[in-house]
Amino acid sequence: MSRVKQLSKPAAATPLVVPSCGLVVLSQLNTLAYLSSVHSPHSDRYRESLSRHNDTKDTHMMERHQEIGIVISVVAVVVVVVVVVVVVVVVVVVVVVVVVIMIRRRRRRRRRRRRRRRRRRRRRRRGGGGGLCPRL
């Protein structure tokens, strides 16, 4: 009819009432339950090993993140400084070129005006007759 039987170590140490025909199935289920409890995310052993692994992994990752953050900040500062220097140099060069061009234009205009005035004065003084006596 029914037997009272204790199962081996993988099962719990509590006595179970099992029909004789289902004994094999129940022992296999108990073995599976034991193995799954050791490796399941809900077991204490699994949680402890996982927490140890995560702690070492987290500290390592934090150190790596700090190093990467320092490197990124240094690179960002260098890039910003280089960009500012390049912009300042370009602005200075453009201003110098514009000033030089404006100075040259002013000089050319003054020279042309003076030359025209001198030529006109000379022509008026000497007279425009030409010939043997240009001054008359």
pTM, two decimal places: 0.38
Residue 115 domain flag: no
Average pLDDT over residues 2-17: 49
Of 16-20, 30-34, 94-98, 129-133, the least confident: 16-20
Look at residue 34 and tell me whether its pLDDT is greater than 60. yes
Q: How many Cα neighbours within 13 Å face the side chain of 63?
A: 5
Q: Facing residues of 5 across strands? A: 16
Beta strands in 45-89 (DSSP E): none
Domain count, the chain: 1
Q: Which domain holds residue 38?
A: 3-109
Task: Give dist(CA 96, CA 92) in Å, integer.
Answer: 6
Task: Give dist(CA 66, CA 82) in Å, integer.
Answer: 24
Residue 125 domain flag: no
Tens of pLDDT along 45-98?
677 777 777 788 778 888 888 899 999 999 999 999 999 999 999 999 999 999
